[in-house]
Amino acid sequence: MSEIPPPNLYKYRSLGTNEEIDQTRSIFENKEIYYSCPPQFNDPFDCYPTYSWQATKKEARAYIQKLVDIRNPELKPTKRRQQIDLTLRQYILLSNSPDKQKLIEKEFIDNYRRKRIYCLAKRSDNILMWSHYGGYHSGICLQFNSRPSSYFFRAQKVIYGNDRPIINPGLDGHMEKFEKALLSKSKAWSYEEEWRMTEINLSGQVTEVPNKSFPTRDLRGVILGAKVSEDHEKMVREWVSNYPTDIQIQRAKLCPTRYQIIIENA
């Protein structure tokens, strides 16, 4: 079972370019968030797993039996056995055809690299996150409600490791492929404490959607960066004042005695 997200999740935003300002303004004015695709990410390994077709005949049969029972629960024993045997023969032929494997792997890779993902963080006081995604501390950090019944409650935790995930196209189910391809990153990125949102339906196919609206009430707060300019602060305060529900404004400050970000009311 997926881990339940914390009560609030955060989105660091830079205000350094007109495009970044327009995208951030759209969150306030249109109640829309922008889903990015993996090629835009700064990690070349993101959504880029490796593939393996290794499996014993026993492993393949066990998985195929489960798959057939899920997809065709009404099959009578004879038809069920025939379907399992047919699918197993197809898998064995495929596992011995490197050319076909590469075509399937390329299709998987291209598919996952086209998907749209919305990345969120667990904390709002992360020094590196402010530096890398918050415009070098001159941007803002948005606080979203991620409690049950909120739009952001669907966020899923990213898993960090030393080894790239290995997908077996013939044996891994839709959700296994999804987690390995879209929720796995190197431990080098673990400081982000990232949570991700995608659109996924029951078939396991991820919906390709660049923008998605969210309930007005789910945007709960805005944190001004420690180095935000007066002009940008004025602009953000205007966005907040025009927002239909109350939004708390806070400010990030540099701790005078420790390497630490302090969040205070502004």
Q: Tell how far CA 154 is from the center of its chain.
A: 10
Angle at 209 between CA 184 and CA 220, to 5 degrees: 80
Coil vs helix vs strand at 131? helix
55's CB contacts (< 8 A; 6+ apart) are 63, 95, 168, 170, 171
Domain ranges of the chain: 8-41+117-164+173-265, 50-112
DSSP-derived letter for residue 227 is T
Given a cut of 80, is residue 137 above it in pLDDT? Answer: yes
The predicted structure's pLDDT at residue 18: 97
Region of residue 207 (left: phi > 0; alpha: psi -120 to 50; beta: else): beta
The predicted structure's pLDDT at residue 96: 75
- Provide the pLDDT confidence category of residue 215 given band limits of 50, 70 and 90: very high
Given a cut of 60, is residue 205 above it in pLDDT? Answer: no
- Rg of the Cα atoms in the chain: 23
Tokens of 179: 């987690």
The predicted structure's pLDDT at residue 143: 98
The predicted structure's pLDDT at residue 208: 61
The predicted structure's pLDDT at residue 63: 73
The predicted structure's pLDDT at residue 202: 43
Residue whose C-alpha is closest to residue 10's, from 122, 116, 118, 117: 122
Say if residues 169 and 55 touch (Cβ distance below 8 Å): no
253's CB contacts (< 8 A; 6+ apart) are 226, 261, 262, 263, 264
- pTM for the model: 0.83
Indicate the average pLDDT of the chain. Answer: 89
DSSP-derived letter for residue 198 is -
The predicted structure's pLDDT at residue 229: 98
Question: pLDDT tens digits for 57-112?
Answer: 787 788 778 778 877 888 888 989 898 888 888 777 777 778 877 877 787 777 77
Rounded Cα distance between 129 and 206, Å, is 27
What are residue 93's phi and psi, to 5 degrees? -60, -45
Task: Name the more confident of 65 and 45.
Answer: 45
220's CB contacts (< 8 A; 6+ apart) are 8, 143, 144, 145, 247, 248
Tokens of 25: 């303004």
Strand 8-13 relative to strand 184-186, pairing: unpaired
Overall size of the chain counted in residues:
266
